[in-house]
Amino acid sequence: MFYSADHDSPFGKMLLACRGGALTGVWFVGQKHFPEDAANYLRRSSPVLVKTKKWLDEYFLGRDPGPSLPPLAPEGGEFRQLVWSLVKKIPRGRVASYGDLAREAAETLGRTAVSARAVGQAVGRNPLSVVVPCHRVVGSDGGLTGYAGKLDVKRGLLELEGVDPGLLEKIGPAALNDRKKKAA
């Protein structure tokens, strides 16, 4: 049984879901891949949902809420789980390209290559928006390509973390990250 609760964010209403003491979903209402069966989720608070709401509130205030989340249990196959684990490693205020993640996935899997398109499809199916920060994944040229929660939300989330999307699109992800490292 999934438990769920609504959460208001500066970017619109969100739906949070959990099962068995673990967070299973954080979606912007109306985004691509919003769960078709969400109406069947039991609307009831739980410690997992309360903790997640507090984490999101801190995040949306522009603060780094740190790793104080409940256990995460997104549903997806092995490849998606791998990609989501790589996305979770992208630091706040930094970005990675789909190609960067494809190279890292290939290395993890012991392959010579993994398709950036396959990585993009896995990123797009991330059921834990914001928490697994898929908004930090960009095109190799720094373009804000694809985001299930809409590109204006992706832009807003990056700006909230101190990333200038205009500069990112001009200089690309590697140069932006280098600048952030030097400034730190």
pLDDT at 38 (0 to 100): 85
Cβ neighbors of 75 (< 8 A, separation 6 or more) are 24, 127
Cβ neighbors of 145 (< 8 A, separation 6 or more) are 98, 120, 138, 139
pLDDT at 36 (0 to 100): 87
Tens of pLDDT along 125-165? 999 999 999 999 999 999 898 887 789 999 999 999 999 99
What residues are annotated to the active site? Answer: 134
Q: Facing residues of 13 across strands?
A: 8
Which of 40-44, 67-71, 98-102 tops mean pLDDT?
A: 98-102
Q: Note the pTM of the prediction, 2 decimals.
A: 0.94
Give the domains, in start order, of the chain with CATH numbers.
Answer: 3-60 (3.30.160), 78-183 (1.10.10.10)
How do 96-97 and 12-19 pair as beta strands? unpaired
Closest CA to 120 of 169, 79, 90: 79
pLDDT at 82 (0 to 100): 98
Measured distance CA(68)–CA(131) in Å, rounded: 11
* Percentage above 70 pLDDT, the chain: 100
Tens of pLDDT along 87-118? 999 999 999 999 999 999 999 999 999 999 99
Residue range 6-30: mean pLDDT, rounded: 96
Computed over every residue of the chain, the mean pLDDT equals 94
C-alpha of 116 from chain center: 17
